[in-house]
């Protein structure tokens, strides 16, 4: 049997009978959703996946009053904007959504009825929001998506010195690595990681921009030289605490409204049909 708090919440370290028992307890399934992509000359391509998984495990271990189980991270996301730098594996949106759909169908077959998608890659934010909404409607279970950069609000920025939030292979992501496994950081490459600039300005217009345009030469946004293990531990604590709070939030885990049910237009605000409403053709 698992003998540590984080082992206890790892799906891949549980047996099938143990997982069946968790399903009977209405355990929350947590899926870290991340990427495999370049993170400059100083961080491994596994960065987003490692960070998201670590945050999810820590959160599930903190939320001891909520039964939760964390799947291994989905390490392929939408990362085509990083392809010019190499080391990157990317899906297209349809494949990405269908992978999530297959996971959702599988946990339903396993007896679970709630899914939290914990994203740790910027390129997944918009598509994951669409997928979560579609999965809610299709499977009639709460599927909730959030991103670790956003879940704790402005608290992350208070920990950092050189930036107001998580960027890419930056002060924040490098600090996470230093706290979790500092041997993975190529310290001798930090000076080479600074990008000479690029187009990072906001705009009311959406289009595709590669990281060769946004962070030329190095593929890094932000300054990893400011990273410390202490900051990384604080970042992990702030994010995991916010995720644990979300796991406990009953409003997030209500069953979604059956908006496509026949005659739903005639229903009251709580989804129940009045006695005189039409029920079909």
Query: What was the pLDDT predicted at 202?
Result: 65
- Calpha distance 16→119 (Å, rounded): 26
- Calpha distance 199→216 (Å, rounded): 9
Pick the range with the lowest mean pLDDT from 29-43, 192-206, 243-257. Answer: 192-206
Mean pLDDT of 45-64: 97
Signed CA dihedral, 78, 83, 86, 90: sign only: positive
Domain count across the chain: 1
State the maximum Cα–Cα separation within the chain, in Å, rounded to a whole number: 74
Q: Does residue 2 surpass a pLDDT of 50?
A: no
Residues 6+ apart with CB under 8 A from 104: 115, 135, 139, 141, 143
The per-residue pLDDT for range 188-217, each reduced to its tens digit, is 999 999 998 766 566 788 888 899 998 999
Is residue 35 one of the residues assigned to a domain? yes
Query: What was the pLDDT predicted at 275?
Result: 55
Is residue 170 one of the residues assigned to a domain? yes
CB atoms within 10 A of CB 124: 25
Whether the model clears a pTM of 0.75, i.e. scores above it, the answer is: yes
Q: Does residue 281 surpass a pLDDT of 50?
A: no
Q: Does residue 56 surpass a pLDDT of 80?
A: yes
Nearest to 41 by CA among 179, 180, 194, 162: 194
CB < 8 Å & 24+ apart, contacts of 165-168: 167/221, 167/222, 168/39, 168/40, 168/122, 168/211, 168/215, 168/219, 168/220, 168/221, 168/222
Is residue 165 one of the residues assigned to a domain? yes
Q: Does residue 1 surpass a pLDDT of 70?
A: no
Q: Is the CB of residue 168 less than 8 Å from the CB of residue 221?
A: yes
**Mean of the per-residue pLDDT values of the chain:** 92
**148 vs 266 pLDDT, higher one:** 148
Is residue 251 one of the residues assigned to a domain? yes
Pick the range with the lowest mean pLDDT from 3-17, 47-61, 118-132. Answer: 3-17
Q: Does residue 57 surpass a pLDDT of 70?
A: yes
Q: How much of the chain, in percent, has pLDDT values that exceed 90? A: 82
Is residue 248 one of the residues assigned to a domain? yes
Is residue 114 one of the residues assigned to a domain? yes
Mean pLDDT of 266-276: 56
Query: What was the pLDDT predicted at 199?
Result: 62
Is residue 61 one of the residues assigned to a domain? yes
Q: Does residue 240 surpass a pLDDT of 60?
A: yes
Is residue 11 one of the residues assigned to a domain? yes
For residue 84, name the pLDDT band (cuts at 50, 70, 90).
Answer: very high
Query: What was the pLDDT predicted at 237?
Result: 97
What domain range includes position 151? Answer: 5-257
Query: What was the pLDDT predicted at 159?
Result: 97
- Calpha distance 162→171 (Å, rounded): 7
Q: How much of the chain, in percent, has pLDDT values that exceed 70? A: 91
Q: Residue 42's domain is classified under what CATH number?
A: 3.40.50.10310
Query: What was the pLDDT predicted at 261?
Result: 87
């Amino acid at each position: 049997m698992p003998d540590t708090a984080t082992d206890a919440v790892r799906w891949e370290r549980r047996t099938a009978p143990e997982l069946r028992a968790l399903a009977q307890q209405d355990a929350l399934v947590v899926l870290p959703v991340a990427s495999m992509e370049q993170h400059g000359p100083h961080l491994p391509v596994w960065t987003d996946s490692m960070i998201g998984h670590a945050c999810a495990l820590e959160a599930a271990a903190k939320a001891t009053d909520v039964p939760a189980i964390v799947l291994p991270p989905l390490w392929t996301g939408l990362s085509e904007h990083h392809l010019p730098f190499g080391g990157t594996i990317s899906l297209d949106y349809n494949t990405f959504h269908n992978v999530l759909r297959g996971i959702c169908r599988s946990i339903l077959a396993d007896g679970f009825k709630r899914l939290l998608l914990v994203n740790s890659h910027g390129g997944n934010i918009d598509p994951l929001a669409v997928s979560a909404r579609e999965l809610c409607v299709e499977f009639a279970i709460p599927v909730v998506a959030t991103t670790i950069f956003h879940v704790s609000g402005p608290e992350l920025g208070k920990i950092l010195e050189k930036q107001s939030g998580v960027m890419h292979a930056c002060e924040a992501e490098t600090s996470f690595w230093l706290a979790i496994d500092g041997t993975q950081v190529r310290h001798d490459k930090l000076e080479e990681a600074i990008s000479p600039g690029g187009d990072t300005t906001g705009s009311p217009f959406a289009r595709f921009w590669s990281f060769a345009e946004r962070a030329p030469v190095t593929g890094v946004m932000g300054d990893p030289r400011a990273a410390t293990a202490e900051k990384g531990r604080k970042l992990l604590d702030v994010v995991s605490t916010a995720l644990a709070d979300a796991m406990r939030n009953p409003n997030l885990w209500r069953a979604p409204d059956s908006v496509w049910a026949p005659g739903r237009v005639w229903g009251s605000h709580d989804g129940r049909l009045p006695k005189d409403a039409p029920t079909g053709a």
